[in-house]
Amino acid sequence: MAPRFRPVALRPHLSAGLPKISNFNMPNKLHRNKRGGSRKLATSVSKPFRAPHSVKDVLDRATPTLTRVADQANRQGFWKQWLAQHVPAELTARLSGVVEREDTLVIFAESAAWSARLRYVMQELAAEIQQARPTIQHVSVRVMPKA
């Protein structure tokens, strides 16, 4: 004998035993990536958005990543200028970069031959480098071809 099935109209509702509050289980999703509409939801909690007028305004904000990049660029500019004054012009033209890392000054030359010549000059200038920045304890010369 086959089992009997109730007609659909007579079956009990699945949600009949749930409390009335179950109508509010899922909140509406925020439409964050939609164009148009108001942005009051995001700006009411945080500071109002102000478009920067220049790159300097962006760098002056309290973002640690950009301030670190700006500081590194300032130190790199200082060392390029310092090396232009103390290193012969033929060697200065062959420099491809200067980076200050913690207590080490890393100078990049175009080729191994130029880096060897630069190492000899840097040994002579070690005392002057420490006078310029006392935090520098080591000078490293590496090869990095210009792009």
pLDDT score recorded for residue 43 = 47
pLDDT score recorded for residue 57 = 76
* pTM (2 d.p.): 0.57
- All residue ranges of the chain with pLDDT < 50 are 42-44
Class of domain 55-143: alpha beta
pLDDT score recorded for residue 33 = 72
Domain extent listing, the chain: 55-143
User: Which of 109-113's residues contact partners 24+ apart within 8 Å by CB, and which partners?
Assistant: 109/141, 109/142, 109/143, 109/144, 110/143, 110/144, 110/145, 110/146, 111/143, 111/145, 112/143
Distance CA(136)–CA(32), nearest Å, equals: 48
